[in-house]
Structure 1
Amino acid sequence: MRNAFLLIPALAVLLAACSAGKDNLAEAKSMEQLYSENGFPVRVRRLEPEDFSVYLKYPTVLDAQSESTAYASLSDVVRNIAVKVGDQVKQDQVILSFSENNRTLQQARLSYENAEAAYKRSEVLYATSDISRQDFDNSRMQYELARASLDAARDMIYVKAPIAGTLIHLNVRATENVNPGTPLFTVSNQNGLVTRFYVGVNEINLIKNGARVYIDGLESVDISNFNWKLNSQQVTFDGRVSQVALLMDSRKRAFPVSAFFDITDLMALNQARPFISGMSIDIVVETYRNEKALVVSRKELLKTDSGYAAYVARDNKAQRVDVQVGHERGLDFEITGGLESGDLLIYDGIQSLSDNIKLNIVETAQAVTR
């Protein structure tokens, strides 16, 4: 009797399991029936040509195309600074000055005044034939030398900008003592920026003169962030590889490569401040570009023994096609064969598909976020 009571729960569990199994089987058959009648639900996107590029990235530093630093030529005290950092300056514009009573300047001025007086006397004497032509020429030469010395002394006192551009660094302040060789200020002509980076042996053959380069994160610049009053809201900020060395740098064990960025338009708008000489950046070099490429992501493909395959929707049925891939960028592939523009590529649910299965297209997208 006791054994009979123990068998009752066991039989109940067995009956429940059998019932659940029948329900699951019925549900599976129901799904198969649904797919058979309505088709397997998939999402597709229409393949269209798009711009596809492959890049390499290198750390480097931006420099002005033309940059010049002025140095002190004497020992003196800085008396006046006429500009501030960030100001635009012209070539030969006075940037700062030292004491006007500096001994070097005073001696040069005195020598010039004496030479000038002697030259004027010799002019009168030569006109009346009281001195020879050689004496007159000697007097004139002494006068010209004294004038050149005075100009040089003035240039030491009134220090001018060696080039036109932007004052990017001021090393001294008013009342500060300096000695010969002390750096005073730096002027940068930032209409162009240059950079030099180093490429390893395995990649140097991929870098070509004229290749496009970008500053990482600044492929396009949102003008509104800088209050640029232009009709367009974005500009492309790119440069070009200007030189690829043929000889390896023995210390770095890599090939030096130079690139150039033209920022004339940004300078004209006074909006080149984000791009500062000496700024560390990552430069992105374009090594390959196809402006009309068919591009798919790795998750949209099936890996096969011979390569890759994809499913496309044709006549409401899934059709498996072998595809050939070209260049690769991260998880994206350039398709060189097997797919054509306009094909409906199945991008969701491909793992459960088989050839010629009936489809239920629930969404058709022009593009997907890869």
Structure 2
Amino acid sequence: EELGIPVRVSQIESDTFVQQLIYNASLQGMQESTVQAMLGDVVTGIKAKVGDRVEKGDVIVTFPVNSPSAQYEQARTAFNSINTTHDRMQRLHEQGAISVQDYENVRTQWEVAKANLESSEQMVFVKAPIGGVITDIMVNVSEKVFPGTDLFTVSSTNGYKATIMVPENEISRIKKGGTVKATWNDIVITGRISEIAMALDPFSKAFRVEAQFPGYRPALGFGVTAEIGIQTLSKPNVFIVDRNNLVRENGDDFVWLAREDKATKVPVTTGVTDQLRYEISEGLQAGDMLIIEGIKSLSEGAKIRIIEGN
């Protein structure tokens, strides 16, 4: 062709070669707490819904105040009675009208009644043990539950965690503190490997690895299944060529470069690879124009025409 063989080119620049192992895992809150019922009775109220932000101590689920198991009303009546007596005896004690022993006796009764009331309240008015986001509610209003029934789960908003089961033949490539990325619907978060099991799980025949990701992204819900990429190698300042642009002949590797308006086949030495991309350790320099399309039509010294754009 008089105008030259049409080709597309890419300028060689140094980059970082990253190798990673890819898994899928569920993203959970870095800190999670599932609260269970302490009594058997009917749910009378649910004060939050999945996705709501709650503070530690917020009431989430309620049960009848007259539940026999909780004895809440009896505990409240007993506390109110001793509380009135306690206030009166405290004033008398401050005035020196009663002995220290008399006041301490009432004080002890008041503390016991207060503890009983708080214990009953915990059964009837079930509160969030940590601040965060409600990620699951397992019961409905009017539903009969029993002691130990899961009621709701709260996940903290200080980050995410993922548990990955890694095969035996890959575990040696993973190090504690290593970089890990989680991707879900184009949202990417970066974290670190926080824990690596010392023993093989007998059921899954894999090693349990935990990764933690600081920070909270409202668009990234808890419980979603994300792609987890665990970085096993990071080699900066190298030249990288895609497999499709590498020519192999008789065990030797070459690339095609555009020099002026000619195609030149250049021998190269490859380094690390992930089978899709290759590090070029010798043969290239920054600024070289790598031919990335039209390779099959080329011959040494052939006239070429560079096509711009896609």
- Indicate whether the TM-score tops 0.5: yes
* Distance 1:365-1:48 versus aligned 2 partners, 3 A rule: farther
* Contact kept in structure 2, 1:42 and 1:346, CA below 8 Å: no
Q: How does 1:134-283 map to 2 (within 5 A)?
A: 134-216=101-183, 218=185, 220-221=186-187, 237-245=188-196, 247-251=198-202, 252-264=204-216, 266-267=217-218, 271-272=219-220, 275-277=221-223, 279-283=224-228
Map 1:45-124 → 2, pairs under 5 A? 45-49=9-13, 50-103=15-68, 104-119=71-86, 123=90
Paired letter, 1:308: D
Structure 1: how far apart are the matches of 2:226 and 2:169?
22
CA distance in 2, matches of 1:126, 1:298: 88
For the residues of structure 2 that align with 1:312 and 1:303, how far apart are their CA atoms? 15
Specify which of 338, 341, 344 is matched with residue 286 of structure 2: 341
1:18 corresponds in structure 2 to none
Please list the CA deviations of residues 311-345 of structure 1 after superposition, one character each: whole Å capped at 9, or x if unmatched.
Answer: 33446554433211122234321211111122233
Q: Give the unaligned 5+ runs of structure 2.
A: none
Instruction: Supply the AA of the counterpart residue of 2:76.
Output: R
Task: Map residues 308-319 of structure 1 onto 2, 5 A cutoff.
Answer: 308-314=253-259, 316-319=261-264
Distance 2:292 2:91 in 1: 100
Higher CA-based Rg: 1
Is the 2:262–2:301 Cα contact (8 Å) retained in structure 1? Answer: yes
Moved more, 158-167 or 169-178: 169-178
Determine the structure 2 residue equivalent to 1:362: 305
Q: CA deviation at 1:57?
A: 0.8
**2:157 partner SS:** strand
Distance of 2:276 and 2:180 partners within structure 1? 21
Pairwise CA distance, 1:304: 3.4
Distance 1:299 1:120 in 2: 85
Q: Within 2, Cα distance between the matches of 1:39 and 1:117?
A: 103
Gaps of 5+ in 1: 1-33, 222-236
- Please report the RMSD computed on the Cα atoms of aligned residues, expressed in angstroms: 3.1
State whether residues 29 and 155 of structure 2, in contact with CA within 8 Å, keep that contact through their aligned partners in structure 1. Answer: yes
* Distance change (3 Å), C-alpha of 1:333 and 1:98: same
* SS of corresponding position for 2:38: coil
Instruction: Kindly indicate whether the alpha-carbon contact (under 8 Å) linking 2:194 and 2:212 is maintained by their aligned counterparts in 1.
Output: no
Seq. identity, %: 32
Closer, same or farther: CA 45–292 of 1 in aligned 2, 3 Å: farther
Structure that is richer in strand per residue: 2
> Does the aligned pair in 2 maintain the 1:44–1:361 contact within 8 Å?
no
TM-score if structure 1 supplies the norm length? Answer: 0.71
Mark the CA change 1:304 to 1:181 in structure 2 (over 3 Å): closer, same or farther.
same
- Once the two structures are superposed, residues 262-296 of structure 1 have per-residue CA deviations (whole angstroms, 9 ceiling, x without a partner) of 343x23xxx33xx322x333312222334544222
SS of the equivalent of 1:136 reads helix
Aligned pairs, how many?
306
Q: How far is 1:121 from its partner?
A: 6.3
